[in-house]
Amino acid sequence: MARNLSMKDAINEALDLEMRRDPTVIIMGEDIAGGAGAQGEEDAWGGVLGVTKGLIGKYGANRVMDTPLSESAYIGAAVGAAACGLRPVAELMFLDFMGVCFDQIFNQAAKFKYMFGGKAQTPVVIRGMVGGGFRAAAQHSQMLTPLFTHIPGLKVVCPSNAYDAKGLLIQSIRDNDPVIFCEHKNLYASMADVPAESYTIPFGEAAIPREGKHVTIVAYGLMVHRALEAAETLSKEKIDVEVVDLRTLSPIDLDTIIESVEKTGHLVAVDEANPRCSIAADVIASVTEHAFKALKSAPKAITAPHTPVPFTPVLEDLYIPSAERIADAVRKQLK
């Protein structure tokens, strides 16, 4: 049966179902149960925002491992364990913390299969929070998806809703390659109809949450919701917007983007990341390269500015692309 489930609960359920199905799936991270070695309650936190709550009770401390605050060591251990037959899902609380363990991800996990001539597989998932809006400032709010997407050998996922989050996370765990699973912290509470059963969503297949004829907006993560908001506003002005939700950034579904732009002739690419070498820039470059003749106006990127994420709400709200900025970009294109 389908139930209305939050994205946070959908992620928890995906982990639960895969741990039940496959005994080689283990999860690890800082405070994913919480209170390890302390006198108080077990599973005190269940992850800093409670995403992994309840799993230690079902699967025990051998499979739900609290780690020292030591990202290089445990992310590397997850990578090593993956190369040795386990399917670890390591939580990197905020993906901004990639800074202290990036070598284990991009020089190790991402390289093994190619560098060892196809003789290794590394089925590790590194999941964590991305994005702004939590007033968490420069080191806990970034959208670093372009960094991960740049690295061959990594797959990069960023769901926009609970249904996709569950299916994409199950796919990530079953995938034999390292996957960076980006969870937008501002979407944890968003609700969707989610089947109780296990299901997968293949990588490299964009969704079209709204069909339209006049303009294509390409987005992912939280920006899908901003794009839909803009589309709703624009529909009152007789502008019929199509919204493409990328769902996975590597691989990327260029076919769907191009098909849509060939229909609409206009492209606005929205990205919560900083502008240079962003997903938005990449989408625009690809469309320009492959479907230049379909374009009736210059494509437009709507991104965060080239600044760190500011703390104070008034500035952070300016930093994150708004529905209004997106709508304005669309109006300008159609002028």
The neighbouring-strand residues paired with 195 are: 2
Give least dist CB 229 to other proteins, A. 14
> Phi, psi at residue 243, to the nearest 5°?
-110, 125
Binding region for other proteins (CB under 8 A) out of 136-144, 217-225, 232-240, 294-302: 232-240
- Asked whether the bond before 251 is cis by omega within 30 degrees of 0, the reply is yes
Give least dist CB 68 to other proteins, A. 6
Q: One-letter amino acid identity for 221? A: G
In this structure, how many other beta carbons lie within 10 angstroms of the beta carbon of residue 179? Answer: 29
Nearer to other proteins, 2 or 189 (CB): 2
CA gap 56, 21 in Å, rounded: 16
3-class SS at 187? helix
150 is catalytic: no
Contacts of 173 (CB under 8 A, 6+ apart): 14, 15, 18, 22, 25, 87, 89, 123, 125
Nearer to other proteins, 114 or 311 (CB): 114
Binding region for other proteins (CB under 8 A) out of 47-55, 153-161, 291-299, 327-335: 153-161
Give least dist CB 316 to other proteins, A. 30
CA gap 17, 21 in Å, rounded: 6
- Position 278 contacts other proteins (CB under 8 A): no
Q: Which of 192, 183, 241, 253 is nearest to 217 (CA)?
A: 241
Show the site string, 162-191: x = touches other proteins by CB under 8 A, - = not: -x---x---------x--------------
Among 99, 152, 305, 313, binds other proteins (CB under 8 A): 152
Where in 48-107 is the site for other proteins (CB under 8 A)?
62, 65, 67-68, 70, 72-86, 88, 103-104, 107
Give least dist CB 32 to other proteins, A. 14
- Position 116 contacts other proteins (CB under 8 A): yes
Where in 14-33 is the site for other proteins (CB under 8 A)?
26
3-class SS at 106? helix
The structure tokens listed for 110 are 């991402």
Nearer to other proteins, 230 or 320 (CB): 230
Binding region for other proteins (CB under 8 A) out of 130-138, 245-253, 296-304, 308-316: 245-253
Show the site string, 191-230: x = touches other proteins by CB under 8 A, - = not: ----x-xxxxxx--x-xx--x-x-----------------
Q: Which of 242, 248, 275 is nearest to 260 (CA)?
A: 242
- Position 150 contacts other proteins (CB under 8 A): no
CA gap 246, 262 in Å, rounded: 17
Among 60, 114, 138, 296, binds other proteins (CB under 8 A): 114
Cα 212 to Cα 216, 248, 323: the distances in Å are: 8, 22, 17
DSSP H or E stretch at residue 307: none
The neighbouring-strand residues paired with 27 are: 64, 89
Q: Name the site residues for other proteins (rule: CB under 8 A).
A: 1-2, 26, 62, 65, 67-68, 70, 72-86, 88, 103-104, 107-108, 111-120, 152-155, 163, 167, 177, 195, 197-202, 205, 207-208, 211, 213, 235, 238, 240, 250-252, 255
- As annotated, the active-site residues are 140
